[in-house]
Structure formats: C-alpha cells, structure tokens
A and B are shown apart, each in its own frame.
Chain A
Amino acid sequence: MSTHENERHPDFGHVAPLKALFGTFGALLVLTVATYGATYIDLGPLNIWIALGIAVIKGSLVAMFFMHLWWDGKFNAFILICGLLFVMIFIGIAMLDSAQYQAELIPGYAPAIHP
C-alpha cells in the first residue's frame, strides 16, 4: 500500500490499494469485451453458460475488491454467499418444476421444446 506523508490513515476499516482497484477495473473491461466477443462464436447451448461464467467472475471481482470483501471480516462474505445460495436454490427448484411438465400443460404453449 502506498502511503504518502500527508495522508492520514483511518484507525479502522481497510484502505484498498490503488493497484487492486485499477487491476479490477482493467479485468472487468477485458471480461466485458470477452463476453461481447463470445456471442459471435456459436457454441449452441454452451453460449449461455460461458456468458454466465464470465458474469460470475466479473461479479466476484467486484464483490472481492470494489466491495472490500477480500480484506473484510469474513462474516459479510458469509452473508452474501448465503444469499446467493438461497437464490440458486430458488431458481434451481423452480427450474426443476418447470422442466418437469409446465411446457405440456397448454398445447402449443412452448412450441420450441414441446411441439
């Protein structure tokens, strides 16, 4: 961490190093271009998982460095991860249910997956 003589550091809380902030910023820009570029390659059903994977990496970078979780007490990260787990359980179970029979309830409702 670069410390200038005239800067006063706080007694509590972590001051993010400039290197980490600009590094995160650069990585986010590169990954944005990557996710944009990936749409020009047709990988079929893999495309959405690549897009989501890149989004998860970008989100983790934002949470860890811009949001200080990397340096914080671990309890805040624990709260975030619990929240994300519940979102995944919610979407996962809804998708299981949806994939089971919903498309067949109304004829012609989901022509692409259940003609």
Chain B
Amino acid sequence: MSDSQSSSHVDSAAHAANPNLQHHFDSMEQQYESGKLGMWLFLVTEILLFGGLFCAYAVYRHNHPEIFTYAHQFLDKSLGGFNTIVLIVSSLTMAMAVRAAQLGQRRLLTTCLALTLACAFLFLGVKFVEYEHKWKHGLLWGKNYEVQGEMAGATEALMIPAAPSQSGSAADVDPNATILPRAARAPEGLAAEVGDHGDGVADAADDHATHGLEPKNVHLFFGIYFVMTGLHGIHVLAGIGVITWLLIRSLRGDFGPDYFAPVDFTGLYWHVVDLIWIFLFPLLYLID
C-alpha cells in the first residue's frame, strides 16, 4: 500500500491543513486507505460471524429437510421479496451517497442518506409485521414453539424427542409420516392448520394422519430463522444509528471531496448487511 501512496500525487502541505487528518497519518489518502483496510477486516469478521449461523443452517437442513420444507410455508415469500428489494434500493442510495460525498454534491448526499434511512426503517417495519405474526401464532424457537389454539395439546405431544432409551416411543411415530412428500402436503396457511385439526385429538400418537401433517422438531427451523434474521435485524438497527449520525454531519456540511471516508466506510458496512440478506432470503423463504 505504501508504494502506491508514495507514487501518487500527495500535496502534503495542502492536506496537512485538513482538520480531519489525524496526527498519526501522513496524508488524507493514507488515512483513507488505512481506514478502508480496517473496515474490510471488520467486515470479514462479520462474514465469519454469520458464517457460523450459515453452518448451523446447513447442518440442520441436511439432517432435517422435512422440517425446512414444512416450516418455510409459514414465512411470507412476498414480504421477504419486498424486503429484498427494499434493501437493494437502499444499497443503491447508499452507493449514490458515497458518490455524492466524493463529488461534493451536498444536497444529493443528504437526500441519498435520508432515502437509505427510510429504506432501513421500512425493512424493519416489514420485519416487525412478520415477527408479530409468528409471535401471535406461537411459531417460535425451542420450548416456546407452541401453535396457538385447540391444536396446542396435540402439537406438544409431537414435539417429544425420541430418546434412544425410549425406542418404543420412536416406533409409535410412523417414520414414513415425517418424510418429505407427506410433510409437503401441509396446509397452505396457518389458519387452516389450526382449524382443521381442532376436533380434540386426545391421543395424537394413534392418529398417523396428524403426524403426517407436521414433522417433529419444527421449532428448530424457527430457532434458526429468528437467530439469523434477528442478528441481521440488529445489524440494520446499528446501520440506522450510523446513517443518522452521517445525516446530521452531512447537514452540517462535513463531507466533501477531501473528506468522505465515514460515508464510504458506512456504505461498505451497509452493503454487507444487504449481502447477508441476499443469502438469507432464498435460504429461509424460498425453500422449494
């Protein structure tokens, strides 16, 4: 990196006057390149963080394809697709904001940052609608997974894991009942599922048809769904915080061709948030 700097035209006298130049950097360019390198290293740790979750996803989906096929039907493809487009638009406005900062187009910069912020809020708003729907219907992680309504009792019976010692209970559950084709015949919407089997199936283990509708351990999917989209949502929240700070600074007129690094680096972060959603959307919403 130092080679490229020494060869490029650096008017050190002019840059030394820039109040944004920290004393431990020689020039604005060196400060910018160093910051960018640091940002990329941070972004790679972010990718590794999400990599752990993608690994959990891959292992669970490999072992339990029937759960993913069944449970993804409770996610709204259209809302997920809409949010994908919202994030893509926000990525464009963020990239435009960086360009505007570089060219000293202050009004365009402020507009683009405000649009990015609006998209971020829109994304979280849609996410809130989705989460609320799942919360209301008990489509949650672990022990909290409890489909609300008359079905609650029967669902609980299905969730008891088959421990090795209780080979009897494992035999009770028809293994064919949980393979893909049968699970795939699950009802389209949640309302239908709760309503259809409300007529008091006291001993659910006797009714193979009931088992066929819902595979065991569906809560695994929702655990993965909430952790992955939740961590992503936290990143959107953090982005909202930083972009708000940029917006205030842009109104103050802090950014221009000599100093645009904060806008540029926030842009890099925001694009990674978009990148992660690009993978989350097909993996969670578009199974089958």
Residues of A bordering B, CB below 8 Å: 7-13, 15-16, 18, 21-22, 24-25, 28-29, 32, 35-36, 38-39, 42, 47-48, 51-52, 54-55, 58-59, 62-63, 65-67, 72-73, 75-76, 79-80, 82-84, 86-87, 90-91, 94-95, 98-99, 102-103, 106-113, 115
In-complex Cβ contact of B58 among A28, A63, A91 (8 A): A91
> Which single residue of chain A is at the shortest CB-CB distance from B67?
A112
Question: Which residues does chain A contribute within 8 Å of B47, judged by CB atoms?
Answer: 80, 83-84, 87
29 residue pairs A–B, Cβ–Cβ below 8 Å: A8-B103, A12-B8, A13-B260, A21-B99, A28-B91, A32-B81, A32-B85, A35-B281, A36-B77, A36-B81, A39-B77, A48-B287, A51-B286, A52-B283, A62-B91, A62-B278, A65-B95, A75-B37, A79-B40, A80-B40, A83-B48, A84-B47, A91-B58, A107-B162, A108-B162, A111-B66, A111-B215, A112-B64, A113-B62
B175 within 8 A of A: yes
Residues of B bordering A, CB below 8 Å: 1, 4, 8-11, 28-29, 32-33, 36-37, 40-41, 43-44, 47-48, 51-52, 54-55, 58-59, 62-66, 77, 81, 84-85, 88-89, 91-92, 94-96, 98-99, 102-105, 161-164, 167, 170, 173, 175-176, 178-180, 215-216, 256-258, 260, 264, 267-268, 271, 274-275, 278-279, 281-283, 286-288
> Which single residue of chain B is at the shortest CB-CB distance from A99?
B62
Whether B65 and A113, one on each chain, are in contact in the complex, defined by CB atoms closer than 8 angstroms, is yes
